[in-house]
Amino acid sequence: MFHLRIIAMAVRGLQQNLLRSLLATLGVVIGVGAVVSAVSILEGAQRDILGKFESLGADQVIMLNGTRQHGHRRSSVTSLEPEDADKVLQDNEGLIVAVSPQYGSAGQVKYYEKNAFVSVLGVVETYSEINQYFQVHGRGITREDVRGNAMVCVLGHGVAEDLFGALPAIGKPVKINGKTFIVVGVMEERGVMGFTNVDDQVTIPLSTAMRRMFGQKYLSVLVAQCVSAEKMTSCVEACKKSLRAAHRIRAGDEDDFTVFTQEQMKQQFAQVAMIFGIVLYSIAGISIVVGAIGIMNIMLVSVTERTREIGVRIAVGARRFDILKQFLVEASIISMFGGALGVVCGWAMSDFLSKFTQVLETYTPPSIIVIAMIMAGIVGIVSGIYPAIRASRLDPVQALRYE
């Protein structure tokens, strides 16, 4: 009852100067809003990207072309050859069950007047199996296709839809970068897998891609399927050893390739996310500090302006602690109100950003509401304590005379 009275009194005190009270909340609104949108953006990006990593498979070793130091310059090198795939598999029987060498590039695929820009991926027969990604019509790329540099292709779901609509695509000739391929299969709808949308992808035999299409000697990626996720560490080491042997790298020299696992990528991303997080939270933190200073400023003005009121309150029996409490509660109400408004603004802002940009995925975790309100409460108390102490220390005799 008594505390309710104090809160009611504080609310009335704030109502007496509504515009000023609202201006005082503004800093906290912006600060908390910034925190909420920063969290939403980070959390959204994290979910989005981690989801992509998740689709890579936790039991795959991904080998890419590496970089090499030339003096003080670092440049990328191409080093992965199709033969490396066999070498890795043969060396590590029992540890690696399959390898999938790939070469990818961009291309234009045409069927009469219809055309689509796609990513063209040269694969071998293990590709579908490793990724658990299968065709709904026709067949996939086979060992025979690869051996014979066959001019066949398998269309991603979206590509087939673009070019053929509801019509059957199997057996139809399409032109990829001007060369004629026969469609032998259409893949299931899958969406994003790893970092590409496989629905917009066309797969062709690896040998065809490297020799007949793009004239390349080197792979762009080599994926090894480990026997189980638990054996990943030894699997990574085994892959490195095989590649070093295959590339005749002497002990002590650095690798000319890079090995990734889903786990490592997650860790690396977590690091990047952390850096972004620090930057975003610092900015948000600064605006909260500014908000706190704003409240402190307003409270100090309010204490000065209400000196007589404070004197009267003491004269009619308020203890110093009552005065302290009154101003602390006022500051906290300003701050909490600003916090609530900030949560709404921050959420609306991040929602707007994700809808407006279409790229940014945002997610506002419900826990941030609690955190923001606690934060606002702390800001209120921290910024209110000094003015409140000043109010409570006023000499009533002087205060009653104050003009």
Partner 1 sequence: MIRAEQLHKHYQMGDSVVHALDGVDLSIKQGEFVAIIGASGSGKSTLMHLIGCLDRPTSGLLEINGELVSAMTEKQLAAARNSYLGFVFQTFNLINRTSALENVLVPLVYTRRAVQRATAKKALDRVGLLSRASHTPSEMSGGECQRVAIARAIVNSPRLLLADEPTGNLDTKTGDQIMQIFHELHAEGITIVLVTHEMDVAVQADRIISMRDGQIVEDTAVDQAQREQILIDAQSSFRKVFDQKAAARAKANDTDAHPKPEAAS
Instruction: Identify whether the C-beta of residue 60 lies closer than 8 Å to the C-beta of residue 261.
Output: yes
- Closest to partner 1 by CB, 227 vs 312, is 312
Stretch that binds partner 1, among 6-14, 91-99, 214-222, 287-295 (CB under 8 A): 6-14
Least separation in angstroms between residue 389's CB and partner 1 is 15
Least separation in angstroms between residue 301's CB and partner 1 is 15
User: Cα–Cα distance between 289 and 306 in angstroms, integer?
Assistant: 25
3-state secondary structure of 5: helix
- Closest to partner 1 by CB, 80 vs 394, is 394
Least separation in angstroms between residue 23's CB and partner 1 is 18
Residue 73 touching partner 1 (CB under 8 A): no
User: Contacting partner 1 (CB under 8 A), which of 309, 354, 385, 390?
Assistant: 309
Q: How far apart are the first and last CA of the chain?
A: 34
User: Contacting partner 1 (CB under 8 A), which of 312, 344, 360, 378?
Assistant: 312
**Count of CB atoms situated within 10 Å of the CB of 96:** 21
Question: DSSP character for 60?
Answer: E
User: Contacting partner 1 (CB under 8 A), which of 78, 308, 371, 390?
Assistant: 308
Stretch that binds partner 1, among 115-123, 306-314, 359-367, 368-376 (CB under 8 A): 306-314
- Closest to partner 1 by CB, 30 vs 324, is 324
Stretch that binds partner 1, among 98-106, 200-208, 211-219, 316-324 (CB under 8 A): 316-324
DSSP per-residue codes, 188-225: PP--EETTEEGGGEEEEEHHIIIIIIS--SS-SEEEEE
Please state at what angle helix 232-246 crosses helix 82-91, rounded to 10 degrees. 130
Spatial CB neighbours of 386, under 8 Å, sequence gap ≥ 6: 296, 300
Residue 355 touching partner 1 (CB under 8 A): no
Enumerate binding residues for partner 1 (CB under 8 A): 1-2, 5-6, 9, 12, 16, 308-309, 311-320, 322, 395-397, 400
